[in-house]
Amino acid sequence: MPTFSFDHVGLSVADLDAQRRFYGAALGLTEVEEHFEVPEAHIRTAILRVDNGLKIELIERGGPAPQEFADAFDGAGTQGYFHWAVYVDDLDAAYRKVLDAGGREVSAPAPAVRRGMRFAYAKDPEGNLLELIQPAR
């Protein structure tokens, strides 16, 4: 039986440089693990990471169609991926950092369904949903 482990999430973006700055400031994803460009197809990508292994691949292709979710559950009305969730050790500090970096508030830190956990949702500057989860202590 094969085993699986998580590597990264891929996010289509309109402005690779702006999103690199946001995810660097908001989540500390500043190390470029991989970068390539295909100019004839109007594609630029970068896989960003942080020392603990958290990674995101940002993919810019000329003329993407934006999607915007009104709230954390609105995305569930469209089939496919609609948010990225990351664990944080201090939800309040992480949420402030995301907002200070240019993120937009969706739902402020609150108790989660799982006992002792807390969560919050924010949007990156292009409207993509990001869930922050603080595990139970």
In CATH, the number for domain 74-134 is 3.10.180.10
Q: Angle at CA 59, nearest 5°, toward 34 and 77?
A: 135
Give me 32's structure tokens.
């470029």
32-58 pLDDT, tens digit per residue, is 999 999 999 899 999 999 999 999 999
Helix (H) or strand (E) holding 106: strand 104-111
91-125 pLDDT, tens digit per residue, is 999 999 999 999 999 999 999 998 999 999 999 99
CA distance 90 to 120: 11
Domain ranges of the chain: 9-61, 74-134
Q: Is the dihedral of CA 84, 90, 96, 100 positive or negative?
A: negative
9-61 matches 74-134 in fold: yes
pTM score of the predicted model: 0.88
Q: Rounded to 5 degrees, what are φ and ψ at 103?
A: -70, 165
Q: Which CATH superfamily is domain 9-61 in?
A: 2,3-Dihydroxybiphenyl 1,2-Dioxygenase, domain 1 (3.10.180.10)
